Amino acid sequence: MDCRKTLRDDASFILMPLLVVMGLVSLAAGGALLSAQLDLRAAARLKTATQAFYIAEAGLNHGWDELQNSDGVNDFPTLSTAAGRSTLFRKTAFDDGSYTVTAEAVAGSDPKRVKVISTGCLPAGDPCPSGHSKAVMEAEFRRQSLFLCALCGKEGVTLSGGSQTDSFDSRKLPYTILTAGRRALRQGGRHALGWQPDGQL
């Protein structure tokens, strides 16, 4: 028996399993790299989608502020009775993105409601191009006092025990944080800037 021939046969016997194992390890490493790359892309998409969501939320908050600021433009009383959709803001920059906000009256609602739709886009765009992260938020707003009759009485209301009330007459001056808890003094047909605590007039 020839020793050289036996060693040559053993070398080929070891080489084949070694190549198979190396191939499997290479495939596993390639799969792990591909999986990591896909995870990174998914995380990046999630991050931009979350940012677009918060941009849309900022637009929704800005829209509500616009409805209630009583500046004569896009106010709740006007929009709650208007027909059609009004654009409150278009492509308003926020962080690295932008939002567009529209509002329309909700037909037949009682109390009156306004539907506000905010579209956030990252990076900025209007309309939001494909390939950009986009989030749309919709909310219906209404203006109604939570306390329709916070303190009511058929023939009057009596408070005792050292109670204190805010008896400001808003017909004389606007009710603000500066005038809360005070009564306006009226002097000679004009509003005075002097104040007296309640109960001393």
Tens-digit pLDDT profile for residues 136-161? 999 998 876 666 666 677 777 777 77
| pLDDT for 147 | 61
> Over 60: is that where the pLDDT of 187 sits?
no
User: What percentage of the chain reaches a pLDDT higher than 70?
Assistant: 70
> Over 60: is that where the pLDDT of 23 sits?
yes
Q: Sheet of 85-94: strands edge to edge?
A: 85-94, 97-105, 113-122, 133-142
**Helix, strand, coil % over all residues of the chain, rounded to 5:** 35, 25, 40
74 lies in some domain: yes
What token pair was written down for 69?
Answer: 């600021």
Give the number of domains in the chain.
1
62 lies in some domain: yes
**pTM for this predicted structure:** 0.58
Sequential DSSP letters for 20-48: HHHHHHHHHHHHHHHHHHHHHHHHHHHHH
| pLDDT for 148 | 62
13 lies in some domain: no
Mean pLDDT across 101-109:
89
Residue scoring higher pLDDT (15 or 174): 15
Q: Convert the pLDDT of each residue in 34-84 to its tens digit.
A: 888 888 888 888 888 899 999 999 999 999 988 888 888 888 888 888 888
* Per-residue DSSP letter, 57: H
Confidence of residue 196 (pLDDT cuts 50, 70, 90): very low
31 lies in some domain: no
- Cβ burial of 195 (10 Å; 0-12, 13-18, 19+) is middle
> How much is the mean pLDDT over the chain?
78
> Over 50: is that where the pLDDT of 186 sits?
no
92 lies in some domain: yes
Confidence of residue 168 (pLDDT cuts 50, 70, 90): low
182 lies in some domain: no
| pLDDT for 200 | 43
Integer Cα distance of 66 and 188 in angstroms = 36
Residue 110: give the domain boundaries. 48-142
Mean pLDDT across 88-114:
88
* Per-residue DSSP letter, 125: -
199 lies in some domain: no
11 lies in some domain: no
- The Cα angle at residue 125 between residues 121 and 130, in degrees rounded to 5: 75
Tell me the H-state helices in the chain.
3-68, 76-79
